[in-house]
Amino acid sequence: MTDKIVELIRRFTPMSPRSAEWDFLMPGSGKPMRWHEIEDAYRVLVIADPGAGKTFEAQTRAKRIKERGRHAFFIRIEKIDSNFEQAFEVGTAEEFDAWLASTDQAWFFLDSVDEAQLETPRALEDAVRIFGARCHAALDRARIFITSREDAWRALPDQTLIEQHLPYGEPEPSERDADTSRDSDPSLKLFRLAGLSEDEIRLFASHYGISDVTDFVDAIKRANLLQLAERPFDLKALIRVWIADHKLGSRFDVLQRMIALQLAPLSATTAAVRLDAAKLRAGAQMLAGAVMMTGKAVICLPNGVHSPDRIDPRILLEGWSDAEIEALLRTGLFDDIVYTSVRFRHREIRELLSAEWANDLLNRPGERPRIENLFFRERYGEAVIVPRTRPTLTWLILLDNAVRDKALAIAPEIATEGGDPSRLPLDVRQAMLSNIVERIATRRDG
């Protein structure tokens, strides 16, 4: 199934910090808004669930604004470093310099906080500081939109970081007089990208060639997958599975089937490069594990430009020819090739594959202590979960009982942060819920 662009009118729900003592967000006041209603704000955070389409929305909005003849840029936060000029995906370094030399407004879409934090805990701070320094002379003319998964956003520290390094002052008097309708509030605006409505799900499915849309939506409801279908990526996975099987399973089942469908054409090819499904899966797992371990999201093609910030698959995939590696990297698991490199197309599939990689190693003789150490550490006499590998752990707890029990004993809420909690045994889910409620009741947690 070929990816298509379906024009949807996405909505943004206002959010706000719970209080100075709570480090998470809650629904704020006000009605849901659309892009044209928030794009004139000066500092905006867009929170979204995995697969909700935040990257697509940010990229598309930057392109739309640019098409109107304005300055607009899309930059991945984890690419903001000393090589700032190479970070632009919409817009260019030359256009950025031209904007700095002008008196015009510019729109920046910075994606995504959670990807940046895969590198180091300080990666977001470093990126914001560098970006702020680059734009320092023109910050009052910069409208900055930042995206993040909610579990990666530290509500109060990160908001303080933005306000410190990306401050926004009142416009000049002449500018204010010329445009009194715009939003000049210097505070960071917080929004959640709302899920698709049932009508939008139907529209999306029909664009992807499903003729029996009513049966499809009914199957989603029967399987209790409506929340999954509210996210464009997950909805595309459901559509692919429906077209192939005309039935749906759990979230875990859908992603597993999705991976198999993306790899099937290559394993069945009669061309010179032919890889069996098991080898393809193992290769994808290895690359996903490397992304998890290194925090480097970019994978270089064998004949591409190799650099320290990219993963070289030739080192990892021993015994693979360059043609086999390139064939794997051209499957639907990965984005289109950009600058002789690719990224995993969808983060949750990457996290599931990295969990499978870790699970395989856990089952090898003598490897368990070393692999568990990737996920669990001891700090000041207390067991903690390693932040970088935490997203992978949400899937690994479904594959290994010992890891599951250890993770839930430390942080039972981890099962709600991703993965597929419905696959946990009933008694485990009951104990997990009881533990969470007890910790809230006794105020042992925020």
The whole-angstrom separation of Cα 2 and Cα 393 is 31
Q: What is the pLDDT of residue 277?
A: 85
**Buried (b) or exposed (e) across 281-308, using 16+ Cβ within 10 A?**
bbbbbbbbbbbbbebbbbbbbbebebee
DSSP string, 381-434: TEEEE-TTTHHHHHHHTTT-HHHHHHHHHH-GGGGGSSS-GGGS-HHHHHHHHH
pLDDT at 335: 80
Radius of gyration of the chain measured on its C-alpha atoms: 23
Cα–Cα distance, 159 to 402 (Å, whole number): 37
What whole-number distance in Å separates Cα of residue 365 and Cα of residue 22?
44
The residue whose two tokens read 């698991």 is 333
Cβ neighbourhood burial of 76 (10 Å; 0-12, 13-18, 19+): buried
> Which among 386, 207, 366, 219 has a CA at the least distance from the CA of 292?
386
- Domains, the chain, in order of start with CATH, read 11-168+185-193 (3.40.50), 372-444 (no CATH)
For residue 339, the SS3 value is coil
Lookup: tokens for 49:
């669930």
pLDDT tens for each residue of the chain, 446 residues long: 556 667 788 999 998 765 544 455 677 778 999 999 999 999 999 998 877 889 889 999 999 999 999 999 999 888 888 788 888 999 999 999 999 999 999 999 999 876 665 555 577 888 899 999 999 989 999 999 999 877 667 766 788 888 889 987 654 444 444 444 444 455 788 999 999 999 999 999 999 989 999 999 999 998 878 888 998 888 988 998 999 899 888 889 888 988 998 887 665 444 456 778 899 999 999 999 999 999 888 899 998 878 888 899 999 999 999 999 999 998 889 887 766 888 898 888 999 999 999 999 999 999 999 999 999 999 888 999 999 999 999 999 999 999 999 999 998 888 888 888 889 999 888 888 888 788 788 876 65
Give me the pLDDT at residue 181, please: 40
Distance CA 166, CA 143 (A): 10
- φ, ψ (nearest 5 deg) of residue 88: -75, 130
User: If 0-12 CB within 10 Å is exposed, 13-18 middle and 19+ buried, where does residue 238 land?
Assistant: buried
Tokens of 438: 């007890």
Instruction: Name the amino acid, one letter, at 346.
Output: H
Residues present in the chain in total: 446
DSSP 333: T
Give the model's pLDDT for residue 150.
74
Show Cβ contacts of residue 126 under 8 Å, excluding neighbours closer than 6 positions. 80, 81
**Model confidence, pTM:** 0.66
